[in-house]
Protein backbone atom coordinates (compact mmCIF):
# COMPACT_ATOMS: atom_id res chain seq x y z
CA UNK A 1 0.00 0.00 0.00
CA UNK A 2 2.90 2.36 0.79
CA UNK A 3 4.29 1.89 -2.73
CA UNK A 4 0.96 2.94 -4.26
CA UNK A 5 0.89 6.02 -2.02
CA UNK A 6 4.46 6.92 -3.03
CA UNK A 7 3.72 6.30 -6.73
CA UNK A 8 0.67 8.60 -6.52
CA UNK A 9 2.78 11.26 -4.82
CA UNK A 10 5.50 10.95 -7.51
CA UNK A 11 2.88 10.99 -10.29
CA UNK A 12 1.41 14.21 -8.91
CA UNK A 13 4.87 15.78 -8.71
CA UNK A 14 5.65 14.89 -12.33
CA UNK A 15 2.29 16.20 -13.50
CA UNK A 16 3.03 19.40 -11.58
CA UNK A 17 6.43 19.69 -13.23
CA UNK A 18 4.88 19.24 -16.68
CA UNK A 19 2.33 21.94 -15.86
CA UNK A 20 5.10 24.20 -14.54
CA UNK A 21 6.90 23.77 -17.87
CA UNK A 22 3.78 24.96 -19.70
CA UNK A 23 2.53 21.56 -20.82
CA UNK A 24 -0.96 20.12 -20.51
CA UNK A 25 -0.30 17.01 -18.40
CA UNK A 26 -3.70 15.68 -19.49
CA UNK A 27 -3.08 15.74 -23.23
CA UNK A 28 -2.88 12.45 -25.08
CA UNK A 29 0.89 12.39 -25.59
CA UNK A 30 1.63 13.09 -21.92
CA UNK A 31 -1.03 11.13 -20.04
CA UNK A 32 1.27 8.15 -19.43
CA UNK A 33 4.46 10.22 -19.03
CA UNK A 34 4.37 10.29 -15.21
CA UNK A 35 4.22 6.48 -15.08
CA UNK A 36 7.09 6.23 -17.59
CA UNK A 37 9.20 8.66 -15.57
CA UNK A 38 8.53 6.74 -12.35
CA UNK A 39 9.48 3.49 -14.08
CA UNK A 40 12.70 5.09 -15.38
CA UNK A 41 13.73 6.38 -11.95
CA UNK A 42 12.95 3.03 -10.32
CA UNK A 43 15.23 1.36 -12.87
CA UNK A 44 17.98 3.96 -12.49
CA UNK A 45 17.97 3.60 -8.69
CA UNK A 46 17.38 -0.16 -8.60
CA UNK A 47 21.02 -0.80 -7.79
CA UNK A 48 20.54 0.61 -4.31
CA UNK A 49 18.54 -2.52 -3.50
CA UNK A 50 21.13 -4.98 -4.87
CA UNK A 51 23.13 -7.22 -2.57
CA UNK A 52 26.71 -6.21 -3.43
CA UNK A 53 28.16 -9.45 -2.04
CA UNK A 54 26.09 -11.45 -4.54
CA UNK A 55 27.32 -9.33 -7.46
CA UNK A 56 31.08 -9.08 -6.92
CA UNK A 57 33.50 -11.95 -6.62
CA UNK A 58 37.06 -11.94 -5.38
CA UNK A 59 39.68 -14.58 -6.12
CA UNK A 60 43.35 -15.29 -5.75
CA UNK A 61 45.56 -13.57 -8.34
CA UNK A 62 47.90 -16.54 -8.78
CA UNK A 63 50.75 -14.12 -9.46
CA UNK A 64 48.99 -12.13 -12.21
CA UNK A 65 49.08 -8.35 -12.00
CA UNK A 66 47.07 -7.41 -15.09
CA UNK A 67 43.75 -5.67 -15.05
CA UNK A 68 40.75 -7.95 -15.43
CA UNK A 69 37.77 -6.50 -17.26
CA UNK A 70 34.19 -7.59 -17.50
CA UNK A 71 32.05 -6.66 -20.50
CA UNK A 72 28.34 -6.10 -21.01
CA UNK A 73 27.61 -4.45 -17.67
CA UNK A 74 24.79 -1.92 -17.74
CA UNK A 75 25.75 1.38 -16.16
CA UNK A 76 23.32 4.12 -15.25
CA UNK A 77 23.89 7.22 -13.22
CA UNK A 78 22.14 10.45 -12.38
CA UNK A 79 23.63 13.91 -12.17
CA UNK A 80 22.84 14.96 -8.62
CA UNK A 81 22.90 18.64 -9.57
CA UNK A 82 20.46 18.44 -12.48
CA UNK A 83 18.77 15.06 -11.88
CA UNK A 84 19.41 14.11 -15.49
CA UNK A 85 20.28 10.49 -16.30
CA UNK A 86 23.34 9.55 -18.31
Do residues 8 and 18 lie in contact, with contact meaning Cβ atoms separated by under 8 Å?
no
The mean pLDDT of the chain is 87
Do residues 77 and 85 lie in contact, with contact meaning Cβ atoms separated by under 8 Å?
yes
- Predicted TM-score (pTM) above 0.75: no
- The 10s digit of each residue's pLDDT in 37-58 is 999 989 888 888 888 888 877 7
State how many domains the chain has: 1
Q: Is residue 35 situated within a structural domain?
A: yes
Q: In this predicted structure, what is the pLDDT of residue 28?
A: 95
Q: Is residue 82 situated within a structural domain?
A: no
Q: Is residue 17 situated within a structural domain?
A: yes
Q: Domain range for residue 20? A: 2-50
Greater model confidence, 70 or 17: 17
Q: Is residue 21 situated within a structural domain?
A: yes
Rounded mean pLDDT, 2-25: 94
Nearest CA to 45 among 5, 6, 76, 74? 76
**Which domain CATH number covers 8?**
1.10.286.10
Q: Is residue 19 situated within a structural domain?
A: yes
Greater model confidence, 8 or 56: 8
Q: 40-73 burial string, b = 16+ CB within 10 Å, else e?
A: eeeeeeeeeeeeeeeeeeeeeeeeeeeeeeeeee
Amino acid sequence: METQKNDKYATDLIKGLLTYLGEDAGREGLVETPQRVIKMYKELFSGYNDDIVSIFKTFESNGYHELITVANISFYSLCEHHMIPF
